[in-house]
Amino acid sequence: MEDLHRRVLVTGGAGFLGSHLCERLLKADCDVICADNFYTGTKNNVAHLVGHPRFEVLRHDVTFPLYVEVDEIYNLACPASPIHYQFDPVQTVKTAVHGAINMLGLAKRVKGKILQASTSEVYGDPTVHPQTESYWGNVNQIGPRACYDEGKRCAETLFFDYHRQHGVNIRIARIFNTYGPRMHPNDGRVVSNFIVQALKGDPITVYGDGSQTRSFCFVDDLIDALVRLMAAPDEAFGPFNLGNPDEYTILELAERIVTMIGSRSRIIRAPLPQDDPMQRCPDISRARRILDWEPSVPLEEGLERTIGYFKSLLKVE
């Protein structure tokens, strides 16, 4: 019988972004296969989707080939926070590079579209601000973050080579800091770190003097961008910077979270980690122009929803 639903594979589908993406695709009537090895993602993240007639979970490591019949692939599988990707750096490189080769091979075989979840980390510690997609980056290839940064850079190379050499229909999303419900509570990412510390009344650790800036995109906005990118005309394959261009200093973020929670936490300082970028801000003009996309959830609202999630996770009133 003819299947009218688009069949979509989401690798890393049990992770923070992946689980929101699976949800969104099911709402759009797709058949969704979530493939994950549960390295940093959890079954809990997709437990509410299990039992949905068009949803399927596969325990699978993308460093091994996968044969499934799909129309579209979102390749999100990869540990994303420094604590997680530095825990087993060799595995991180394998996931980024072998994972890309395996998923590109699949896209080539099924003649499907494939979207890569790349990262602002491909810009390293940037020397131009804000970063446009034409900037080649400033990455320390032998530093502790290189397993992730260079892994993701190599994955982009592979995507472009599969496109040029084999005509694979690709999409590249360079994702900047995204936050929201289902972030891992102990992954050391700044938003989750601060919220968890503030909810527990623990000291809030700000690295350096806190004047380094970051931009924060709420997960719903980011997922909207990924879906738009997949649906964009084939020649609009990117790369696209996707993130929120509003910049905040880390200290401002810490103070805002403490105030919103009404926490008794004190803000304390710790030394800046190696290769921590001073400034990170996307230029999203390309996404605005071609995808007709820009973030719409204000920081206050996104934080409110994220704080609500962590309150229920940590069982704090």
Site for ligand NAD, rule CB under 6 A: 11-12, 14-18, 36-41, 61-63, 76-80, 95, 99, 117, 119, 175, 177-178, 184
Q: Which residue from 219, 273, 269, 280 is spatially nearest to 86, judged by alpha carbons?
A: 273
Single-letter amino acid, residue 272 = L
CA angle 25, 287, 17 (to 5 degrees): 35
Cβ 303 to ligand NAD shortest distance, Å: 15
The smaller minimum CB distance to ligand NAD, of residues 105 and 203, is found at 105
CB of 135 to ligand NAD, least distance (A): 16
Q: Which is nearer to ligand NAD, 41 or 112 (CB)?
A: 41
Q: How many CB atoms lie within 10 A of CB 261?
A: 20
CB of 113 to ligand NAD, least distance (A): 17
Q: 39, 85, 123, 148: which one is catalytic?
A: 148
Q: Which residues contact 298 (CB under 8 A, 6 or more apart)?
A: none
Residue 256: other Cβ atoms inside 10 A: 15
Smallest distance, Å, CB 272 to ligand NAD? 20
Q: Are 216 and 192 in contact (CB under 8 A)?
A: no
What's the number of CA atoms in the CB half-sphere (13 Å) around residue 208? 15
Cα-Cα-Cα-Cα torsion 158, 161, 162, 168, nearest 10 degrees, comes to 120
From the CB of 266, what's the least distance to ligand NAD, in Å?
27
- The reply to whether 162 belongs to the active site is no
Crossing angle for the helix pair 299-314 and 190-200, to the nearest 10 degrees: 60
Nearer to ligand NAD, 99 or 181 (CB): 99
Residue number with CB closer to ligand NAD (216 or 263): 216
Q: Which is nearer to ligand NAD, 34 or 232 (CB)?
A: 34
Q: Which residues are catalytic?
A: 148
